[in-house]
Amino acid sequence: MGGEVKNMRALVLAIGALVIVAGCGRVPGGEVSPGNYKLYEASSSSLSQNVSVIDSRSHRVELSLPLGTPSPDWTHLYTVSSGALVDLDPLTGAVLHRMQLAGRFELPPATVTGVPGGLSQNGRWLVLESFDALSNGVRTATHLLVVDTSYGKAAQQVNLNGFFEFDAVSNDGRRIFLIEYLDSNQYHVRFYDLGAGRLDPNIVFDKSDGSSAMAGVRLSGIPSHDGQWLYSVYVREDKSAFIHALNLDVPFALCLDLPGSGYMANPDEFHWSLAMNVAGTHLYAANGATGIVTDLPIDNGAPVQMRAAKLNDSQTGGIFGVLDAQAKELAGNAAAVSPDGRTLVIAGKSGVLWVDTSTLKTRDTQLAGWSVWSLAMSPDGTTLYVVDYAGMIAEVPMAGAHSATTFAGAGEQPLALMRVAPA
Along the 423 residues of the chain, how does pLDDT read in single tens digits?
A: 444 444 444 443 343 333 333 333 334 444 445 679 999 999 998 889 999 999 999 999 999 999 999 999 999 999 999 999 999 999 999 999 999 999 899 999 999 999 999 999 999 999 999 999 988 888 999 999 999 999 999 999 999 999 999 999 999 999 999 999 887 668 899 999 999 999 999 988 765 665 556 788 999 999 999 999 999 999 999 999 999 999 999 888 999 999 999 999 999 999 999 999 999 999 999 999 999 999 999 998 889 999 999 997 544 443 332 233 334 456 688 999 999 999 999 999 999 999 999 999 999 999 999 999 999 999 999 999 999 999 999 999 998 878 899 999 987 889 999 999 998
| Cβ-contact 323, 312 below 8 angstroms | no
Give CA angle at 16 (138, 108), nearest 5°.
40
Give CA angle at 106 (228, 200), nearest 5°.
45
Q: Is 222 helix (H, G, I), strand (E, B) or coil?
A: strand
DSSP assignment letter at 271 = G
Q: Is 243 helix (H, G, I), strand (E, B) or coil?
A: strand
| Cβ-contact 44, 69 below 8 angstroms | no
Q: How far is CA 23 from CA 20, 120, 234, 370, 389, in A?
A: 5, 39, 29, 10, 9
| Residue 269 neighbours by CB under 8 Å, 6+ apart | 235, 240, 241, 260, 261, 262, 263, 287, 290
pTM: 0.88
How many whole angstroms from its chain centre is CA 208?
27
Burial tier of 131 (Cβ tally within 10 Å: 0-12, 13-18, 19+): middle
Q: Would you tell me how many other CB atoms lie within 10 Å of the CB of residue 249?
A: 15
Cα first-last separation, the chain:
42
- Rounded to a whole number of angstroms, the CA Rg of the chain reads 20
Within 23-164, residue ranges assigned H as helices are none
- As a whole number of angstroms, the distance between CA 198 and CA 201 comes to 9
| Cβ-contact 279, 297 below 8 angstroms | no
Q: What domains lie within the chain, and their CATH numbers?
A: 2-422 (2.130.10.10)
Q: What phi, psi does 86 have (nearest 5°)?
A: -115, 125
- As a whole number of angstroms, the distance between CA 325 and CA 97 comes to 45
| Cβ-contact 290, 269 below 8 angstroms | yes
- As a whole number of angstroms, the distance between CA 355 and CA 335 comes to 10
